[in-house]
Amino acid sequence: MQIFVQPTGRRIVPFDDPPGEVLIANRPLRAWQAEMIRDAGLERVERLEPPCVVIPDTLFTTGGVLRRLVEGAGGRNAVLVLAESRFGKSTTFVQPDVEAVDGGWRFDAVRFESGGDEAPQPVVVDPEEKVVELPVAPAFGADEPARIALARHPVLTVHHWVHILWANQAAGALEVRRGAWWKGVLRVIWAFLRCRSFNRWRILGKLNTVGRKCDIHPTATVEGSTLGDGVTVGPYARVLFSRVGDGATVMAGAHVEACTIGEGATVAQMTTLRASVLYPESFSGQTVMQASVLGRRTLLTTASWSIDLNFEREIRVPLDGELHSTGARMLGSAFGHGSRVGAGVFLASGRAIPNGAFLMRDPRQVIAKVPLEAGERPLVNDGGRLVPLDP
């Protein structure tokens, strides 16, 4: 059976990258697509000639999903429907070709073309998810715990930088769940035998994949993570459920949780990163950042913040000239390739900084002129000048 990857012409803002260049678990989307096509036993062709599977160049999924589409089509026109699921509820936002239907979400661009003129029949695919519940502090006003779906068969199209976040999270879950269950059990047993403890954190510390020539300080904690070759993890740093690319550095006291860190990237000392993606050679300074994407060679310096919470409503992001809800009240920002952010810059949630941009604090907020004598009265900043506070 043949498959045609249909070009969309989409460029992912703010990076201006075509979908195939988007990095998911430090691999370009085109590499994931080549793998899923191979796993499905399909042959890629350069022209659409029915009978043929048709997918957009934005699609992130598995070979199992494509096989089920072909089997469900039975030689007739068909379109993929992602079954009702927590995964779908979390990831189908900001996708132009996705429509909510009875029983799930219809992906019009993922289809089987028979060459006939019959109306396409829906082929419903179950993502086979496992839902994990995480507690939410009452102060956030949540009535129930947060629910995260770990899908064995994710279906997601990448049109926006928020999809880079969601696809990387889905890839982490896919890595955990794609193998046979008994292999996972054997791996846990082997970890238990090595640590000789029933403590779950000790066992988790043995469930890492560590590359060659890594430098991990004895006081550092690495749990449930994958480290590439030549990774450095400094004193008292923690890496949890994350993927760290070749040559990357996690400096002293930094915390990296559920993140993808690109090759040669640096997480500065005392930084906290959660559910974020750092492209290769980016630098995250001493800050706290959640659900954000740093582009290639981006520099985020000390005490710069991407505000990541909206108490009032779901955060919206622009796509194709319109604002779209992300379905989330917690979301950071995206920083384009080569952008630089100076100290003390605050950025509202859901924003995207263009490639090459340089952001800095208003100079009037920085004390530049200091009197030779301070005296006993308190001093304040007045447009960059340090002056006595009025009585």
pLDDT tens string 18-42: 999 999 999 999 999 999 999 999 9
pLDDT of residue 308: 81
In angstroms, the CA 40 to CA 37 distance is 5
202 inside domain: no
Mean pLDDT lowest for which of 165-169, 299-303, 382-386?
A: 299-303
User: What is the average per-residue pLDDT within 218-238?
Assistant: 96
In a domain, 182, yes or no: no
Cβ-based neighbours of 76, under 8 Å, separated by 6 or more: 112, 114, 116, 118, 121
Instruction: Print the domain residue range for 256.
Output: 209-363
Please state the domain count of the chain: 3
Q: How confident is the model at residue 205 (pLDDT cuts 50, 70, 90)?
A: low
Asked whether residue 278 carries a pLDDT value surpassing 70, the answer given is: yes
284 and 164 within one domain: no
- The pLDDT value recorded for residue 271 is 94
Residue 182: pLDDT band with limits 50, 70, 90: very low
Asked if residue 79 and residue 100 are part of one domain, the reply reads yes
**Distance between CA atoms of residues 49 and 54, nearest Å:** 10
> Is residue 203 in a domain?
no
* In-domain check, residue 193: no
Residue 259, domain member (yes or no): yes
Same domain for 139 and 230, yes or no, is no
**356-368 pLDDT per residue, tens:** 999 998 888 888 8
Q: How confident is the model at residue 282 (pLDDT cuts 50, 70, 90)?
A: very high
Taking all residues of the chain, what is their mean pLDDT, rounded to a whole number? Answer: 90
